[in-house]
Amino acid sequence: MFRKYVGWGAVAMLLAVALGAFGAHGLKDKLDASMMSAYETGVQYHIAHALGLIALGLVADRLGESKWVARSGAFLAAGIVLFSGSLYVMAVTDIGKLGIITPFGGVAFLIGWGCLAAAVRRK
pLDDT band per the 50, 70, 90 thresholds, residue 99: very high
* Prediction pTM value: 0.94
Whole-angstrom Cα distance, residue 115 to residue 12?
20
pLDDT band per the 50, 70, 90 thresholds, residue 123: confident
> Are the C-beta atoms of residues 86 and 18 closer than 8 Å to each other?
no
Longest Cα–Cα distance in the chain: 50
- The pLDDT score that the predictor gives to residue 64 is 81
4, with CB counted inside 10 A (0-12, 13-18, 19+), is middle
Inter-CA distances, 53 with 38, 102, 113, Å: 22, 19, 10
- The pLDDT score that the predictor gives to residue 65 is 77
- The pLDDT score that the predictor gives to residue 62 is 86
- The pLDDT score that the predictor gives to residue 101 is 97
pLDDT tens digits, 17-55: 999 999 999 998 999 999 999 999 999 999 999 999 999
120, with CB counted inside 10 A (0-12, 13-18, 19+), is middle
> Are the C-beta atoms of residues 58 and 14 closer than 8 Å to each other?
no
In this structure, the number of other CB atoms found within 10 A of the CB of residue 30 comes to 11
Q: Does pLDDT of 1 surpass 80?
A: no
Please enumerate in sequence order all residues whose Cβ is within 8 A of that of 103, keeping only pairs 6 or more positions apart, or say none.
none
pLDDT tens digits, 61-98: 888 878 999 999 999 999 999 999 999 999 999 999 99
Whole-angstrom Cα distance, residue 38 to residue 54?
24
